[in-house]
Structure 1
């Protein structure tokens, strides 16, 4: 609770809090938009083989236009099991007899077919161009879309591994600043990619920087926030993800050429990079890493922005040292990542968090990455998913205000899993119901993420928060990378991926049940606080009534 006293002296909910929150919301917004960009740049339009009769305009004996396009399609492209034209095969020779189905033919052999040797013809009613149409990533190469999404998620994973230790060493602000520049450059260069390999490499870099922006922006926000406002602030930040999904759907509807959309999304990041100079580094991180002088400067700067007079007299080194005496004493001992696993409580806690992170990541990304499986109008579905995500964040905050962290997560995860499990067994004819159930599942998944994010942040000490969150995020990125790859199991059965997506969050509920409760507890700053968890719990229970009074 010591740092809370310092926050009171610099002025809570002042001008700086508003400025920082606005900036961070914009940073999180742009990172969220990049997450699902491949839904549109790598969209797979309807397609069929290129055939000379249809696409070269030279049909022998059809000078008078007797044969329609449907007739020409019928004699050139075989039908699949759903009686629709094949996407990846064509007849070797035109099957003229198919124009007279009522007649009986002596030759009942199956016509000879071949793959699309001359390329494909794509439906451009939704997208004039995508990377799929530009580089013919269909048929034998149709899994390349999943590969792109996998590489983006792998970039997020690598970004977590590389930058989490750097964040605990150099600070949160510097990581946000330079990753904003990196995502701006990589996003801009994506619009000019000349090959599929270059496109994948740039998307990897975008994933690398986006994850660092999301993680460090969130940490910077909560480390400047009091207990009473923490839930609301984290919910507000998490809700931006839903707004980002909606904004992306609108931008993709306006800018449908795949080279234009990344450019539009990346351009504002250059301005965000310049605006990051107005952020103030986390004073809590300075103090937890035994840098009280720099922490004091950060506190005074925030007090000045908030209009607190005489802050230099009331805030000095002696005040900081006396207020944060235990934290500074603990900071004398250098803490490494391995200390987390030597500590019995933290080792158990981290292993459980790994399971929880997989539980909320795989099903949600499985749904949002495969939005095109719901129908053709992915612009509408994208906006709909975004609106549902935003409303789900507000709903989760209301639930969190009345129930514990564990109960809320278990409730959301079970409901998400159940709605996903129902989805694959519904007939395709009732598409409206399928879309509705998918939206509800996305909503509960988003609510689960919001509840889990708050819970995880409260379970990790400040001195190793970035690195520990990095480990948890690394596991969640592995889950996110696996989510699109699980959809390749559709070649065995269309229901297998959805069953996996539905079972995983239900299994994660058991891990949530084993985690300690943290509602209304202060953020822990070091490993000693983890060991003294019971003492903190008893202390807060005694003061629980006063906390509830001041919370609102």
Structure 2
């Protein structure tokens, strides 16, 4: 392919590509924690109603002085079905008779209770402050925690659509830098939000820029086809490192204000080296900016230490090398033509896979508290297993192909989730093991699809269609926490849905073409030619097998 030949002339894997890869990995390491930030900043601590005889230091009396804290708690807060103090109700009047252990309560009427009208007392041993304790998002307001997550995911959905269109219109670099600036400023400001409403608004606007930062087109469009899978898997591995980083950071820094600042301020600092990024050569060509594209190509060659780049990479040489692409981009195709060229059914299958993969992944990753109390350990554990899965995925992508990778790991993930659903709560170790296997398998399948998606979509519409695919992913991310509301009907129903949706993803991968060792397509003509070429190769292979003997 002519693009790959030019990249080889400029250095297919040189100092520039290494600098770009390291920079993106560091930025993604700090960006990914913003997605799961509420695992810690919105952690729900143990809590109970504020009661006067327990929590008012000005209350005095001989009786309350002689009683222990446990005794005062017993007469002030009713017990739930697990014989633990209620979190959302208190006795209207102290129930002194409960101190007499020998007194039967069979003939006693149920004492009157009331909500926590005076506020709550929180266990601050794990987290001295969260947005839950900041704005009392407990009891009847507990659903507001999922509102924050839903708003952030909704913002990421809208941002993936808006900024992908802007990337195809104005270029990858300027939109990427703007999103980096936006995320750093907004989530820094969120640490100082005076009200919950302002915090929600800031998190929504911060979510707009996340997917553009994490799923950028720079790396794939400045890398040759041979090195593309390694670079993308390494970049996606930084997401896993970001998960582990957040777990360790939250363990060391328990205040939600400080956690916000710790993952946001460094993004503003990274704007300085990000200015040295080079605009996508492929995008400049398809936008008919040949001279600027050649200038950027020479710049990359100079960084990679290629001597005499100006003499070898002339405008005439580049133009003759990619003449077919230049002729093709003169015709401005519409998105409808692209859907027709790629086959509508094939596109819909791609959208469904990204949707189902996101539902199962975020269903697991956003519900750490359902696994146990040590959410720091689970965050690090999930990060480690997704990192391992993505490295394993690199091997399967190279030796088993794109489709086999997604089919294998989607099947493992679906089975793990469904089996885990019907295990008793007492089998905690096995449940955690299956959950980590499920997360790892979903991550490996998603890694394979990310590479597969880039190879399926032509450069002229890669960001636009990638944004649409990402939109389906964000829709799945929005749906994942909302499905947990079904716990009120059945404790197993949300997890059954996660597992079934994941297994359905196996079926939608089958019609997609295999793209391993195929060059990137740049135009609609490339898509059609690749389809015809694939059919021709299959026919030739069949003929060879028949006539070989």
| Cα distance, 1:82 vs structure 2 | 2.2
| Shift, 1:101, TM fit | 4.2
The equivalent residue for 1:274 is 272
Corresponding residue for 1:547? none
- Work out whether residues 357 and 476 of structure 1, in 8 Å CA contact, stay in contact via their aligned partners in 2: yes
CA positional deviation for 1:63 = 5.0
- Using the TM superposition, give the Cα deviation of residue 452 of structure 1 relative to its aligned residue in structure 2, in angstroms: 0.9
- Give the TM-score of the pair, scaled to structure 1: 0.94
Cα pair 2:398 2:516 within 8 Å, conserved = no
In the TM superposition, residue 248 of structure 1 has moved relative to its aligned partner by 0.8
The match for 2:253 is 255
| Structure 2 alignment gaps of length 5 or more | 542-549
Within 2, Cα distance between the matches of 1:472 and 1:211? 11
Aligned-pair CA distance for 1:59: 6.9
Report the secondary structure of 2:399's partner residue.
coil
Q: What secondary structure, in the 3-state scheme, does the structure 2 residue paired with 1:104 have?
A: coil
- Contact 2:362-2:481 within 8 A present in 1 as well: yes
Residues 295-444 of structure 1: matches in 2 within 5 Å?
295-341=293-339, 343-444=340-441
Q: Deviations over 1:471-492 (max 9, x none)?
A: 0001110110111111121122
d(CA) in 1 for partners of 2:498, 2:74: 39
Kindly indicate whether the alpha-carbon contact (under 8 Å) linking 2:64 and 2:72 is maintained by their aligned counterparts in 1.
no
Structure-2 separation of matches of 1:146 and 1:64: 42
Cα pair 1:143 1:488 within 8 Å, conserved: no
Q: Is the 8 A contact 2:48 2:122 kept in 1?
A: yes
Structure 1 Cα separation of the partners of residues 85 and 281 of structure 2: 63
Counterpart selection for 2:285 from 287, 290, 297: 287
Q: Specify the SS of the correspondent of 1:127.
A: coil
1:446: which partner in 2? 443
Question: RMSD between aligned alpha carbons?
Answer: 1.9
Partners in 2 of 1:261 and 1:527 — Cα distance? 46
1:301 & 1:106 partners in 2: Cα distance?
A: 86
Distance in 2 (CA, whole Å) between partners of 1:278 and 1:519 is 31
Distance 1:77 1:538 in 2: 73
Q: Kindly state the Cα deviation for residue 106 of structure 1 after the two structures are TM-superposed.
A: 6.8
Give the superposition deviation at 1:108: 3.0
Q: Tell me the equivalent position of 1:548.
A: none
Please give the alpha-carbon distance, in whole angstroms, between the structure 1 residues aligned to 2:389 and 2:53: 52
Which moves more between the two structures, 54-63 or 140-149? 54-63
Return closer, same or farther for 1:9/1:381 CA change in 2, 3 Å cut-off: same
Q: Secondary structure at the match of 1:259?
A: helix
Partner of 2:104: 104
Say which SS state the counterpart of residue 515 (structure 1) adopts.
coil
Task: Note closer, same or farther for the CA distance 1:498–1:105 as it changes in structure 2 (3 Å cut).
Answer: closer
CA distance in 1, matches of 2:186, 2:325: 40
- Give the aligned partner of residue 207 of structure 1: 207
Aligned to 2:493: 496
- Correspondence for 2:233: 235
What is the Cα deviation at residue 87 of structure 1?
Answer: 1.1
Report the Cα offset of residue 532 of structure 1: 1.7
Provide the C-alpha distance between the structure 1 equivalents of 2:74 and 2:65, rounded to a whole number of angstroms.
19
Deviation at 1:285, TM superposition (A): 1.3
Separation (CA, whole Å) in 2 of partners of 1:73 and 1:423: 38
1:290-310 deviation per Cα after TM superposition (whole angstroms, max 9, x unaligned): 222111111111011111111
Distance 1:496 1:99 in 2: 42
Deviations 1:77-130 (A, max 9, x none): 222222222111112222223233433357332221211111111110110000
Residue equivalent to 2:36: 36
Report the alpha carbon displacement of residue 363 of structure 1 after superposing the two structures with TM.
Answer: 0.9
Report matched runs for 1:61-140 at 5 Å: 61-63=62-64, 65=66, 67-105=67-105, 107-140=107-140
d(CA) in 2 for partners of 1:93 and 1:194?
Answer: 35
**Which residue pairs with 2:22 in the alignment?**
22
Distance 2:235 2:337 in 1: 30
Q: Partners of 2:540 and 2:232 in 1: how far apart?
A: 23
Once the two structures are TM-superposed, the CA of residue 9 in structure 1 deviates from its matched residue by 0.7
Looking at structure 2, the residues matched to 370 and 530 of structure 1 have their Cα atoms a distance apart, in angstroms, of: 41
Change beyond 3 A, Cα 1:542–1:25: farther
Q: Distance in 2 between matches of 1:465 and 1:540?
A: 26
Query: Aligned in 2, Cα 1:390/1:541: closer, same or farther, shift over 3 Å?
Result: farther
**490-499 vs 477-486, which deviates more?**
490-499
- Cα deviation for residue 276 of structure 1 reads 1.3
The structural deviation recorded for 1:441 is 1.0
TM-score, length-scaled by structure 2: 0.95
- Is this contact kept in 2: 1:346–1:530, CA < 8 A? no
8 A Cα contact 2:160 2:209, kept in partner: no
Deviations 1:306-347 (A, max 9, x none): 111111111112211211121111100112323323x15342
